[in-house]
Amino acid sequence: MRSAIKKTLCAALAVTFLAAGQGAAATLEEERDSYDAQVEELGRQSDELAGKIDSLSEQKRILDESADTAIAEHKARRADLNKTLERLEENEEKLEVTEREYERKSTALGKRVRDIYINGQVSYVDVLFGAKDFSDFLTRMDLLKRVIKQDYDLVHAVLADRDAMLALKEELEKDRAEQEPLEKKAREARLAMEDKVAQQQALIDQMKYDKATIDRKQDESRAASERITRMLQRSGLRNLPVQGSGAMIWPLAGSITSDFGWRTHPITGAQRFHSGIDIGGDYGDPIYAAQAGTVEYAGWISGYGYAVIINHGGGISTLYGHCQSLDVGTGQSVEQGELIAECGSTGNSTGPHCHFEVRVNGEPVNPLAYL
């Protein structure tokens, strides 16, 4: 009697612990699902930011080209203005020297003319009476005129130089008046473009920082999910043996190469929920309908490659992925065991196999429960 009671208590405790363990596992799986949802959402945000960064970077490249053009234009205008200012300064220095030379020679000529005017009669008499003969007189008069004319010509030459320099100064001042507004406009355009480039770069830098923050959070959520997965794997409370009902037949003659449930993705290396089983095969091996039904879809599905979805009624459907080719079309009725496709490795796949899913009301369940 005691033995029977003891066995009953042990069985009850086992059921209790199993239920508690299953409850804990369910809680952990819910937490893991939450982390996985965060990983997916953060990945979406990261991809969105990456797209914006690419777009902004392209806009900045165009702005950089415009800024380079504005800088070159400003440099050219600045160079023209500097050249004009240098010529003005050089001409001003020459003009000062010429003015002083003009004043000196004008003063000397004026003094000579005044002396001749004041003492002109005496000088002429001196020249007249000092000459030996009339021919000597004419020679002396000619020499005197030449001296006066030479002084006069020198003064006028200096005056001509001064007038030319004043004309050049006026021309250069006109050039400066035209060039200064152009240089100012080019400088303002350059500064405006440089400001736009700086603002664009600041925006890109901020987005890169935001993306790095999101990527870090995504890594943290992924790591948390993987830790929970390892906890579940160590607990032995998942992937318990499933007793098949035999309601469906195997779609492909082969062995299971990847089980239903959480696994390390063979391509990304991340922990991902595997919503079906992978049945190994060779290219072209026949794939059969696991159960009679209506083809709900036959064609390409992202990730699955060429795939067939069959609706079996009662909320149950099956999916056959990574096919090499399809032998049925959407809306077609099929019998259990009817050829629907050939084995392949299309979509996200590392080799020929059939990814087989069973879904109940859209939610994936372990296919082994139906085979």
Q: Which residue has the higher pLDDT, 252 or 180?
A: 252
Taking 60 as the threshold, does the pLDDT of residue 234 lie above it?
no
Question: What mean pLDDT is reported for the chain?
Answer: 79
Q: What pLDDT sits at residue 8? A: 39
Of 54-63, 215-224, 225-234, 324-333, the range with the highest mean pLDDT is 324-333
C-alpha distance from residue 35 to each of 29, 31, 269 (Å): 10, 6, 17
Taking 70 as the threshold, does the pLDDT of residue 242 lie above it?
no
pTM of the full structure: 0.42
CA distance 320 to 292: 14
Topology of domain 1-238, per CATH? Answer: Helix Hairpins (1.10.287)
C-alpha distance from residue 217 to each of 29, 35, 222, 351 (Å): 20, 10, 8, 33
Q: What pLDDT sits at residue 251? A: 95
Per-residue burial over 151-190, b if 16 or more Cβ lie within 10 Å, else e, is: beebbeebeebbeebeebbeebeebbeebeebbeebeebb
CA distance 298 to 310: 9
CA distance 179 to 78: 9
Taking 80 as the threshold, does the pLDDT of residue 168 lie above it?
no
- Domain spans of the chain? 1-238, 256-369
Which stretch of 105-109, 169-173, 280-284, 324-328 has the lowest confidence by average pLDDT?
105-109
Residue 54's pLDDT band (boundaries 50, 70, 90)?
A: very high
Select from 2.60.120.260, 1.10.3720.10, 2.70.70.10, 3.40.50.720 the CATH code of 256-369. 2.70.70.10
CB proximity list for 24: less than 8 A, separation 6 or greater: 235, 237
Q: What pLDDT sits at residue 110? A: 65
Taking 50 as the threshold, does the pLDDT of residue 337 lie above it?
yes
Q: What pLDDT sits at residue 145? A: 66
Q: What pLDDT sits at residue 29? A: 76
Mean pLDDT, to the nearest integer, of 110-133? 55
Mean pLDDT, to the nearest integer, of 175-184? 82
Predicted confidence (pLDDT) per residue in 275-317, tens digit = 999 999 999 999 999 999 999 999 999 889 999 999 999 999 9
Predicted confidence (pLDDT) per residue in 83-97, tens digit = 878 887 887 787 677
Q: What pLDDT sits at residue 127? A: 52
Q: Which residue has the higher pLDDT, 16 or 36?
A: 36
Beta bridge partners of 354: 279
